[in-house]
Chains A and B, each alone.
Chain A
Amino acid sequence: MRRSFSHSSSVGGLVKNSMQIIRRPIITERASNLQESQNKYVFEVLRGANKVDIQRAVEAMFEVEVVKVNTSTVHGKIKRLGRFQGRRSNWKKAVVTLADGHSIDFFEG
């Protein structure tokens, strides 16, 4: 299967390609439930990317048809180590709905 990573979009004034926009798939119990029941795939994405960027990136990377993208910003948890308090970075989560008959296999390379 030939994959095209050639799609690029301008995020925050910088041109980014698909690989940079889609950071990693989220594979959790909830995510795999969504996958199986509603054909939705969950990713961590670049914080500056918008829904259109994400749709294009996913379509280019996995050669699938995207119907809808929902995004949310996940706030970093506050973590403390002894008397030091820190904060994990916020990140952006995208739930991508694929058209019927399309699927993504995360484990295949």
Chain B
Amino acid sequence: MNVQVTESGTWRRTLEIEAPAEDVDKRLNDAYRKYSKTLNLPGFRKGKVPLSVIKRQFGSAIQGEVVQEMVEEFYREASEAEGIQPVSQASIDDINFEEGQPLVFKASVDVRPEITVETYKGLKVTRPVFAVEDEHVDSRLRYMQEESATEQVVERAADLDDVVFADVEELDEDGSPVADHKSEDQSIRLFKTEDDKPTELAEQLMGISAGESREVTITRPVQDEPDQEDHEDRDEEPKEETVMFRVMAKEIRERELPELDDELAQDVGGVETLDELKTQIRNEMATQYDQMIRQRVEENLMDALIEENPFEVPDSMVENYLDGMIESYKREHAGHDHGIDEDAIREEGRDQAERGVKRFLLLDAVADQEDIGVTDDDLDKHLEEMSQRHNIEGPRLRQILGRTEQLGRIESDIKTQKTFDFLIDNADVEDVEEVEGE
């Protein structure tokens, strides 16, 4: 087999493949013979149809099939022999076939870019510093306190921070109830805003007492599809509508916050004292912050790495990445019946996909250049941690992971982590104070 490789693009190779005539003929004849064995033609006994008849009657169809097979096989052999790592489907052109002649064709394919990362040491990156402040801990404590508040029915008119226990029905413009828009036994809390003012709803319900009913008007964003509420990535102005409700108060309840003391600590945190609870919160937050910081540093590093080492990525890799994105988007949204606009995802996700591909290639290249690999020890350590976290015994965990073919993914995760460790160790990291609230 004769193969010639030409570069037809930065990461595109065209293979000109010529397969010798003898090979081709042999395969063709094999195919004819195989066909004649099974062919049922009137006037002939099974398997007794002469090759000449088959060739004349079915020749071109069989040839087409065989050529197709041969092209695929020879392409595979050729790309292996030439050490080409395809990242796309090959496009086959110019198939030239005649009986008794060599089979000649061209295959073009995107290859995985072989990049050498020049600059990856001493990258300048910033590291945000979030320290856990007392006020963070306090606000978390307050939140916990709120969470475990108790409610007491009181015989008085509702005030701020009270809870109105009521039946609520939606009214249309004429003030008559909308069918099926009634909900019973709702707890409506009369929230106050940051500056101690009642919210729009609370203001209208202040002073209501049990047994009383009131009509309230609120503005809310238009809800087309209930499960899109949390999609904040929609840039368009949310539309608002004004809706009227009738609130029929059944009870007024006063909220009682528990004391911030050891007892609360035992209830919510499972620890003995309030101080212990505070330490616990502080540790949790510190871990969270550390993870966040690491993530930010990694992202910053990636930015710097991409910036310092520009290269072109093959389109087909980006497309593959986009396919993956769409796939996972579909999985996440499986069961929701809103349609998925694949073209929009492709359009908007292109930059992200390109970055993802670059990230993958750059990290891999750095790992190669620095000989970073995953040792058995690394894997064992990671699995050990996992088994503790998920409370599954080590051998069993291995079995599960092996069955779901996740070991490979874990290995590549560890490799990525190690590569990042290396990059961070060798980077010029500058700590930057960031305003809390990220």
Contacts and interface: CB of A to CB of B under 8 A. Distances in A.
B391 interface: no
Contact of B57 (A26, A29, A107): A107
B57 A31 contact: no
A99 interface: no
Contact of B56 (A28, A29, A105): A105
A27 B52 CA distance: 12
Interface in B41-69: 42-45, 48-50, 52-53, 56-57
Contact of B50 (A32, A105, A107): A32
Interface in A80-109: 105, 107
19 contacts: A26-B43, A27-B43, A28-B43, A28-B44, A29-B43, A29-B44, A29-B45, A29-B48, A29-B49, A29-B50, A32-B44, A32-B52, A32-B53, A33-B50, A36-B50, A36-B52, A105-B56, A107-B56, A107-B57
Contact of B43 (A31, A36, A105, A107): A31
Contacts of A31: 43
A28 to B, nearest CB: 3
B372 to A, nearest CB: 66
Q: Closest 10 CB pairs between A and B?
A: A28-B43, A29-B44, A107-B56, A32-B50, A29-B48, A32-B53, A27-B43, A107-B57, A29-B45, A29-B43
A29 B56 CA distance: 15
Interface of B: 42-45, 48-50, 52-53, 56-57
Most chain A CB within 10 A, of B44, B48, B57, is at B44
Nearest to A31: B43
Q: Interface of chain B, helix or strand or loop or mixed?
A: loop
A32 B57 CA distance: 13
Interface string A6-25: 00000000000000000000
A36 B55 CA distance: 14
Contacts of B44: 28-29, 32
Given A29-B43, A29-B45, A33-B50, 19 more contacts: A26-B43, A27-B43, A27-B53, A28-B42, A28-B43, A28-B44, A29-B44, A29-B48, A29-B49, A29-B50, A31-B43, A32-B44, A32-B50, A32-B52, A32-B53, A36-B50, A36-B52, A105-B56, A107-B57
A35 to B, nearest CB: 9
A26 B42 CA distance: 10
Nearest to B45: A29
Nearest to A107: B56
Nearest to B52: A36
A32 B52 CA distance: 9
Nearest to A26: B43
A107 to B, nearest CB: 5
B57 to A, nearest CB: 6
A26 B53 CA distance: 13
Contacts of A26: 43
A106 to B, nearest CB: 8
Contacts of B42: 28
Nearest to B58: A107
Interface string A30-56: 011100100000000000000000000
Contacts of A28: 42-44
Contacts of B45: 29
A19 to B, nearest CB: 22
A3 to B, nearest CB: 19
Nearest to A28: B43
A36 B52 CA distance: 9
Contacts of B53: 27, 32
Contacts of A33: 50
A61 B42 CA distance: 25
Contacts of B50: 29, 32-33, 36
Contacts of A27: 43, 53
A107 B60 CA distance: 13
B44 to A, nearest CB: 4
B340 to A, nearest CB: 52
A28 B50 CA distance: 10
Most chain A CB within 10 A, of B45, B48, B56, B57, is at B56
Nearest to B44: A29
Contacts of B49: 29
A31 B50 CA distance: 11
A74 B230 CA distance: 86
Contacts of A29: 43-45, 48-50
